[in-house]
Amino acid sequence: MFRYFITILLVLFFALNVDAQKKKKKKKLPENIEAIESKFSLAPIYIKEYSYLLIKSRQNEEAGQMKYKPNIIGSVGGKISIKNFTISYVKALPQPKEFGETKSRNLVFNFQKRIFGMQFYWTQYKGLYLDTLDRYGIFDDMHKQGVDDAYVLRPDVNFNNIGFETHFTVTKSYSINAAFEQTERQKKTAGSFIMLMGANYIGVKNKKGNSLILESQQEFFPRTKDMYNLSTLSAKFAPGIGYSLIIKRYFSLSFIAAGGMNFQLKWYNLENNIRTRFGPWLSVYYLGKVALGYNGEIFFANLIYSNSQDIIGFKSSYAPYNCSTNYKFFREFFKVTAGFRIL
């Protein structure tokens, strides 16, 4: 993975040099947007992530909630920006052994203009644990019910989330680029309508014979009690708003809020059936993001909080239980970035 990261960096650096040799007339910027002449910047990153897969019955109150989490207390890495291109890569910090071992990858490639942006990402976790009494001292329903296997390590479970997102704004005086990537500067407070679109693949897989549903809970999930593989392809459409409050030129408080529909095609494998099953699903998707930033001439810094959700649903009735079920993937993180411009 690191080799690919370096290769992409070299390609972009070469493109930057070629572009610098061309004498092109600069495009006129909107009055409220200020260009930053630097074309190359470096920044270390720290991410505190709270992500998990929640398996929950929508109608059966007797069923417990199963929360699968990666054993990651934080990740460190770096971000390199070349003009409008950004690459970031982070690696997980050492983990407490009582929650098992999670091997992770988190790679993001971002292209950001003022009114248009595109992001490609890959998040992978190998090895999860089922969390009821977690490190934060929070008790969930299964622990209160005294379920014996409520806390188990699942080194066999792998999770992948691969996809891309695009967004468009309609107001020229507002810049998502200035708020989150900081490769230009917004002079005055402004906001805009935003349209988010994207597609992604989510896969939750483990070995045949190792169901994602705990044995003590399988009676409440008759349709998926022996499911060991689950995959989805999703297409998202989410309108929303973006807004940046500018304080004394270099400081900003920004947010994005968007919500819409998530069209999915899912396929999964059951232990008692060798055939892969397919099914469509329509669910709700949302994304919320807040940033507090300093965007100076040489130094820049950003504190970003983000929260999003993907839902994979099943709907069917098996006596004596209704097994309408949601597989929810929540991603919540707090990211700290502080860097400087070189060229």
Q: Which helix (H) or strand (E) holds 312?
A: strand 299-314
Place of tokens 């001292």: 137
Q: Which amino acid is at 340?
A: F
Q: Please indicate, yes or no, whether the overall pTM of this predicted structure exceeds 0.85.
A: no
Task: Quote the number of domains for the chain.
Answer: 1
Q: Got the DSSP string for 269-289?
A: EETTEEEEEEEEEEEEEEEEE
Q: Token digits for 111? A: 């292209």
CA separation for the pair 123, 270 (Å, rounded):
25
Q: What is the pLDDT of residue 320?
A: 45
CATH of the domain at 207: 2.40.128
Residue 331 placed within a domain: yes
- Two structure tokens written together for 267: 């396929």
Q: Which helix (H) or strand (E) holds 122?
A: strand 116-130
3-state secondary structure of 53: strand
Pairing, β 321-322 against β 66-70: unpaired
Strand partners, 104: 125
Q: Is residue 17 part of a domain?
A: no
- Which ranges of the chain have pLDDT less than 70? 1-27, 58-62, 132-151, 272-279, 315-325
Nearest by Cα to 340 from 41, 87, 45: 41
pLDDT of residue 40: 86
* Distance (Å, whole) CA 114 – CA 186: 10
Q: Where are the alpha helices (DSSP H) in the chain?
A: 2-21, 141-144, 176
Length of the chain: 343
Contact 213, 227 (CB under 8 A): yes
Does the N-terminal peptide bond of residue 222 adopt cis geometry, omega within 30 degrees of 0?
A: no
For residue 35, being part of any structural domain is answered with no
- Average pLDDT of the chain is 79
Task: Domain of residue 313: give its range.
Answer: 48-341
What per-residue confidence (pLDDT) applies to 98? Answer: 76
Give the integer Cα–Cα distance in Å for 201 and 184.
32
Q: Answer positive or negative: Cα dihedral of 138, 142, 143, 145.
A: positive
How many whole angstroms separate alpha carbon 131 and alpha carbon 303? 28
Q: How many CB atoms within 10 Å of residue 141?
A: 17
